[in-house]
Structure 1
Amino acid sequence: MIKGFKEFILRGNVIDLAVAVVIGAAFTGIVNAIVTGLINPLIALIFQADSLNEIVIAVPNVRGGTTDFAIGLILGAIINFVAVAIVVYFVFVYPMNRIKERAAARAGVTPADEEPKLPTEQELLVQIRDLLEKQGPVSRP
């Protein structure tokens, strides 16, 4: 049992995942600081609020009061997510894809070589028809 656990932990993808989680957590702090310190104040200027938390929509309820919907919090979370996704794409994904493309080009592998072209449905049906014709007529009991 211990041996199996050791093999599981020492797999490359588990270690890579652990590193990604740690880097992602640290990186999220940076993105949150940028969103909180720069983007949120810019949006708050547009909506004339001191912070996104103050941007609410008050909807009257049946008891005569109002219910506040914190649109600013939702907007902030969306901005934060998009900011993280953009930075992760342009800092990690795009450069890694470019490195892989260059390595493949140096090795002489083209994208067409990597994935074989699968036959279309019509081509498969033609192949099936031809095979059935080769077998000849089928006798029925």
Structure 2
Amino acid sequence: MSKEKESVLEGFKAFLMRGNVIDLAVAVVIGAAFTNVVTSVVKGVINPVVGAFGRQDLNQYSSCLKAPCETNDAGKVVRGIPIMWGTVLSAVLTFLITAAVVYFLMVLPMAKYLARRARQQAAKEEVQEVMEVSELEVLKEIRDALVAQRGPGPSGSAQNGPGRNTP
């Protein structure tokens, strides 16, 4: 095998071994299952509520373009051009319900969690920064206290520091 093919295979292997691929696969499977739940809610709850004002199945709502629509015994259109706007309405309702559930049950709580976590991290960094500054101040105070205790050295200066007494 050539080096280029090996590097492509190595790259593909690295791609598969990353955690993101697994996360995406799980998201697709959960999303497919969730779609079935939302579709059932639309067909079992939303369509009958809308049907209280008309037909019970939204998919039956349609208009005919070009002459009256006629169907044969099998339900196939033999004359006219039907516009199935009820099917589109059902799909739009399914999408809106799915989007609302995803937003209110997943996106919004995660955004609040991440914002709270960011505030906690910022507070922790601020405390760390204050501690570093106060440690520096304490060390300076200790240094000044030691210099003051030592008193003036042989040269008459207390500013030379420990071990630096020069005549």
TM-score by length of 1: 0.68
Structure 1 residue 55 corresponds to structure 2 residue 69: no
Aligned to 1:80: 94
Post-superposition shift, 1:4? 2.6
Aligned to 2:118: 104
AA aligned opposite 1:59: L
Structure 1 residue 44 corresponds to structure 2 residue 51: yes
Q: Distance in 2 between matches of 1:68 and 1:44?
A: 20
Post-superposition shift, 1:104? 0.6
Structure 1 counterpart SS, 2:88: helix
Structure 2 counterpart SS, 1:60: strand
- Equivalences, count: 105
Post-superposition shift, 1:71? 0.8
Q: Distance in 1 between matches of 2:107 and 2:38?
A: 17
RMSD: 1.6
Unaligned runs of 5+ residues in structure 2 are 1-5, 68-78, 124-167
CA contact (8 A) 2:62 2:85 kept: yes
AA aligned opposite 1:50: Q
Unaligned runs of 5+ residues in structure 1 are 110-141
Q: Distance in 2 between matches of 1:27 and 1:50?
A: 23
AA aligned opposite 2:114: K
Q: Of the candidates 23, 26, 30, which is equivalent to residue 23 of structure 1?
A: 30
Post-superposition shift, 1:26? 1.1
Q: Which runs of 4+ in 1 moved over 4 A?
A: none
Structure 1 residue 94 corresponds to structure 2 residue 108: yes
CA contact (8 A) 2:48 2:56 kept: yes
Post-superposition shift, 1:59? 2.2
Aligned to 2:21: 14
TM-score by length of 2: 0.58
Larger mean CA deviation between 2-11 and 100-109 belongs to 2-11
Structure 2 counterpart SS, 1:108: helix
Q: Name the larger-Rg structure.
A: 2
Q: Distance in 1 between matches of 2:52 and 2:87?
A: 15
Aligned to 2:147: none
